Amino acid sequence: MEETKVFQKKKLFFVFTSAGKPVWTRYGDAIDLSTFIGSLAAIIFNFQNYYTNSSDALRYLRTSDMLVVFLCKEALFYVVICKISKNKLNQTKETLESLHQQLQNLHIKVISTLTNNITSTLQKRPNFDARNLMGGTHSALDTLVRTSAMTPHFLEGFMPVRLHYDLRNEVYQAFKNNMHEDILYAILMTPNFIIYRYCRKGNSLHYSDVSLLSNLLASYNSLRSASSWTPICLPQYSDEGFVYACITFIANSQISITLISENSNAFKDLKSSGDIIEAELTKIKSQLEDCIKQMPYSVSICGIKEVKHFLYCSKGLDQYTMSGVNPSTRDFLPEIKKQAYKRLLKRYDTAYHLSIFSDYYKGNFTRIDIYRNEQILCIKTLDYTLLVSFSPLLSRNAVYNVSTQLVRWIKQEEQSLFIVK
């Protein structure tokens, strides 16, 4: 694709080394864009050394209709050029923080593919061409970018499938009874949904590593053909090396059993555990699939008609749940259209924004924003973050009461909305 055609796109991503060598671009050919990428590297360098005897780091620049965000990670640089519009309905309304989070996610994915050894390699050999190592990942990176743009950037967690407690408990039992000692993590998941996850005692599975696993399953159809044994770097666990994932799909289903171990020789044991778990879960496969088909769930399940949409993040569990939308599949129920959701994300971000500063949040933050066509409530406490959309005509008294009711409902339904054990 010609440079001018590439530059007409709404959102461009560039990954390159500190020496200006392209690693990945979302559009166009990295070689054709190498001059442009070289100029990006030069810009970053110039601002790093803007003043003699002082170092700095470029973060972003803006015009009235464009944001360019930079993320500099030692030897790897990430840039997004995004055209924003306040006025046009179908233009992107992405925020600075959202774009930055997308760059962060790209970095995590790159490290997951290359491990952090790439940093020391590039520092020793600045002209090293990392493009070949990234071969075959374009689709995965593109999917990651699309998913990230739809996911609330300010929430730290993943979204599990809504599952009745008894059913989740059966899954839990199936895993618990068949955990080989070499299993570090075990996840029951589809490419787009997490049904259950297990962690070996003393370990936790970071939500960004969960996203990487989802991205892996979503991007590589070859993993579905038979049991796969694939190395993967989970940066939050360790960015220096690989762990090994044994992935088994339940027959005639999108549901996979992913077992992860640090032991590269553990395939046989993990496959064996996976087979037993599969046999046990086959009995409830159709029930699981029914629950997955019901995602995203409608806001009406909370039984509170005043609520148009809600997003709840449990801090202790590192998980969130949301009505009406599944960000990873970009599925929208009729109650909330795609453009309305994008606008909602921006409004949630506006409401949440001040709470990231310790000046304004010390365990308790509340904000209500009233627009002409909507009212947004944000509550942030030590336990949870809640964002809700209401009609603008609802009184503040009603908003207060309804939000209390909603939190109560979520707490009651916690075991079906989240993976608690």
Partner 1 sequence: MRGSAISSLFVFNPTLKPLSEHPTEDEYKSCKLIYYYPENAPLFEQHTHVGLAEGMCMFVQQFSDNPLESIHTEKHTHILQQCEPNIWLCIVLNHGDSPSESFIRQQDLETHPHVLKAIVDNYYRNFYLFHGPLTNFRYPEDFPHLKNLLSDYTKIFDEDQPKRTELFEGFAYCPLDRKSYMNVMYGLSQISFTHTDVLHTMLIYDGYIVNTSMPQQGSLLVYSYLARDKNWRRLIDMKRDLNPNACQYGRIAEYPKKGFVYGKNSAGIIVPTVYLPDIPPCKMLLWVQENMQLVLLMKNQEVPEETIEVIRNSLHELCPDIIKTIQSQYQRVLNSEDSFKFLYFNNMNLAIKQSSKLNPIDDQLYRLILTVSAQMRDSTQKYDSLVKTIVRTNIAWVMAVKVLDSREIYFVLPPSTAPVNKVEEEIVKFANGYFHTIFTGL
- Joined tokens for residue 356: 């990231």
Task: Determine if 361 is a binding residue for partner 1 (CB under 8 A).
Answer: yes
Hey, how many other C-beta atoms are within 10 angstroms of the C-beta on 169? 16
Task: Determine if 365 is a binding residue for partner 1 (CB under 8 A).
Answer: yes
**Of 20-28, 40-48, 158-166, 208-216, which segment contacts partner 1 by CB under 8 A?**
40-48
Task: Determine if 77 is a binding residue for partner 1 (CB under 8 A).
Answer: no
- First-residue to last-residue Cα distance in the chain: 49
- The rounded distance, in Å, linking the Cα atoms of 127 and 262 is 32
Nearer CB in complex with partner 1: 212/376: 376
By CB under 8 A, name the one of 2, 56, 129, 166 that touches partner 1.
56
- The rounded distance, in Å, linking the Cα atoms of 47 and 72 is 12
Q: Give the closest residue to 253 by CA, choosing from 211, 210, 209, 193.
A: 193
Q: Sign of dihedral through CA atoms 411, 412, 413, 418?
A: positive
Task: Determine if 132 is a binding residue for partner 1 (CB under 8 A).
Answer: no
**Of 18-26, 78-86, 167-175, 247-255, which segment contacts partner 1 by CB under 8 A?**
78-86
**Of 173-181, 264-272, 276-284, 368-376, which segment contacts partner 1 by CB under 8 A?**
368-376
Stated as kind and residue range, the H or E segment containing 261 is: strand 256-261
**Of 56-64, 239-247, 257-265, 325-333, which segment contacts partner 1 by CB under 8 A?**
56-64
Nearer CB in complex with partner 1: 47/242: 47
Given its phi and psi angles, is residue 324 left (phi above 0), alpha (psi -120 to 50 degrees) or beta?
Answer: left
- C-alpha separations of 304 from 199, 259, 300, 402, 410 in Å: 35, 39, 7, 7, 12
Task: Determine if 63 is a binding residue for partner 1 (CB under 8 A).
Answer: yes
- The rounded distance, in Å, linking the Cα atoms of 95 and 238 is 30
By CB under 8 A, name the one of 370, 381, 414, 420 that touches partner 1.
370
Task: Determine if 41 is a binding residue for partner 1 (CB under 8 A).
Answer: no
Nearer CB in complex with partner 1: 40/217: 40
- Residue 50 beta carbon to partner 1: minimum distance, rounded to whole angstroms: 7
| Bridge partners for 243 per DSSP | 232
Task: Determine if 366 is a binding residue for partner 1 (CB under 8 A).
Answer: yes
Question: Which 3 state secondary structure label does DSSP give 374?
Answer: coil
- The rounded distance, in Å, linking the Cα atoms of 420 and 196 is 9
Nearer CB in complex with partner 1: 199/304: 304
Those residues with Cβ within 8 angstroms of residue 354's Cβ, 6 or more apart along the chain or in another chain: 360, 361, 365, 367
Amino acid identity at 339: Q
Task: Determine if 229 is a binding residue for partner 1 (CB under 8 A).
Answer: no
Task: Determine if 57 is a binding residue for partner 1 (CB under 8 A).
Answer: yes
Q: What is the DSSP string of 118-131?
A: HHHHHHH-TT---T
Task: Determine if 280 is a binding residue for partner 1 (CB under 8 A).
Answer: no
**What part of residues 6-25 is at the interface with partner 1 (CB under 8 A)?**
7
Task: Determine if 35 is a binding residue for partner 1 (CB under 8 A).
Answer: no
Task: Determine if 276 is a binding residue for partner 1 (CB under 8 A).
Answer: no
Q: CA angle, corner 214, sides to 210 and 220, nearest 5?
A: 140
Task: Determine if 45 is a binding residue for partner 1 (CB under 8 A).
Answer: no
- The rounded distance, in Å, linking the Cα atoms of 258 and 141 is 21
Nearer CB in complex with partner 1: 191/235: 235
Task: Determine if 52 is a binding residue for partner 1 (CB under 8 A).
Answer: yes
Binding mask 371-410 for partner 1 (x = CB under 8 A): xxx---------------------xxx-xx----------
- The rounded distance, in Å, linking the Cα atoms of 9 and 1 is 11
With contact defined as beta carbons under 8 Å apart, do 240 and 115 qualify?
Answer: yes
Task: Determine if 83 is a binding residue for partner 1 (CB under 8 A).
Answer: yes
Nearer CB in complex with partner 1: 59/125: 59
Q: Which residues of this protein are in contact with partner 1, per CB under 8 A?
A: 7, 39, 43, 46-47, 50-52, 54, 56-66, 68, 81, 83, 86-87, 96-97, 100, 343, 350, 353-354, 356-357, 359-373, 395-397, 399-400
